[in-house]
Structure 1
């Protein structure tokens, strides 16, 4: 709950810094799309699956490769928000049509819902790449369609964020996260194939990692 409270406070500060004004409806809509589902999710998991929330609190990667990937993605996101701020000041707050902003917010929302669905289906889901004691292969819910649905939801949120906040300039920067997410997936699968019983058979049954019929 402390982290949720910090997010609810920090995000409006970032939104104000991006636009330089509180009269920035795109930012407040984006805040609502992120924070309201987060509030519902935190309350649900605190009551029903507190162990999963505890695993999500562990942010320290152990593999050097994953540390490099996470650091690169973090730099991309920071650079993306800097680009949003510059774009808003150069081109104003209404450079992107309202219907596209709303569509992007919907993409952020459904991306987040997909991530929450993953957490509901897979209590082993964690921020770091690891194998937990007693972990088993999950092949139900979104895992019945692709092997890494959480990353699909995350990418939807990343790619829709600059449009939701009114910036075209930042979109190519946020798009740089795609190859790093793919790299993270490949590295994660090496660990899962090595240490998680049954994962090879699951991969043989579910061919696609991120997008059906694509990859």
Structure 2
């Protein structure tokens, strides 16, 4: 059953999506950009589907992700604020200005195919991670109140932070979907944030979570299989 925090989490996601797309249109100065409308529809469909899926399989996680955790790491609170600023504000404004007002660059509609393939891969990966990992909260902390344990199933057999890998892929997909080469600038900013977050969270888990050191020896890669 959804708690007040769970409902707040779902509402917040929809508000952020609408705000992101609104900034795309406002910064572009146009409302007839088909790519932006497709992006809005796809995002809404995805969020509805993933919310229903997670509610049926792991509703407690929705509630937990909506709660404010006072023991969350301060560095992670800073990184998540930076991420939200990049994703919700900087990225749509840069892309809107590029595609609509100034047309500094152009990616033709062929890029929609690889863009949405990456988008779908990212969505599948992050949902898979949330389904198997009941500790997939919004901020980094050792969840002693929830008997925090190491998750080794699903995508966690491949990399130690599959949710962050999904975020990296998502950032790569957005400029292709929305048609802006300049969009890769804020996308790279977002990717750097998640690389830093991966390193800091991994260090935290190694130092503070029982069993994580042994797990890290079995699954060697933090973020990118074969690379890091």
Instruction: Please identify, of 31-40 and 194-203, the stretch whose mean Cα deviation from structure 2 is larger.
Output: 31-40
Give ranges in structure 2 of 5+ residues lacking alignment. Answer: 1-9
Give the corresponding residue for 1:177.
190
CA contact (8 A) 1:162 1:168 kept: yes
Residue 85 (1) aligns with residue 96 (2):
yes
CA distance in 1, matches of 2:76, 2:170: 21
Inter-CA distance 174–5: structure 2 relative to 1 (3 Å threshold):
closer
Instruction: Say whether the 8 Å CA contact 2:174–2:183 is kept in structure 1.
Output: no
Q: Match of 2:74?
A: 64
Cα distance in 2, alignment partners of residues 35 and 164 from structure 1: 15
Asked whether the equivalents of residues 205 and 212 of structure 2 are also in contact (C-alpha less than 8 Å), the reply is: yes
1:36 — aligned with what?
Answer: 45
1:207 maps to which of 220, 224, 227: 220
TM-score using structure 2 length = 0.84
Instruction: Provide the C-alpha distance between the structure 2 equivalents of 1:73 and 1:10, rounded to a whole number of angstroms.
Output: 15
Q: Structure 1, residues 130-181: CA drift from partner, whole Å, max 9, x if none?
A: 1222121111111101111100101111121122111111212211222321
Per the alignment, residue 158 of structure 2 pairs with 145
Using structure 1 for the length normalisation, give the TM-score.
0.89
Change (3 A) 1:143 1:118: same
2:14 and 2:86 map into 1 onto residues whose CA distance is 25
Q: Which runs of 5+ in 1 are unaligned?
A: none
The CA distance in 2 between the partners of 1:17 and 1:2, in whole Å, is: 22
1:30–1:105 Cα contact (<8 Å) kept: no
The more displaced of 37-46 and 55-64 is 55-64
Indicate the RMSD between aligned Cα atoms, in angstroms. Answer: 2.1
- Aligned 8 A contact 1:33 1:109 in 2: no
Structure 2: distance between partners of 1:103 and 1:31 = 18
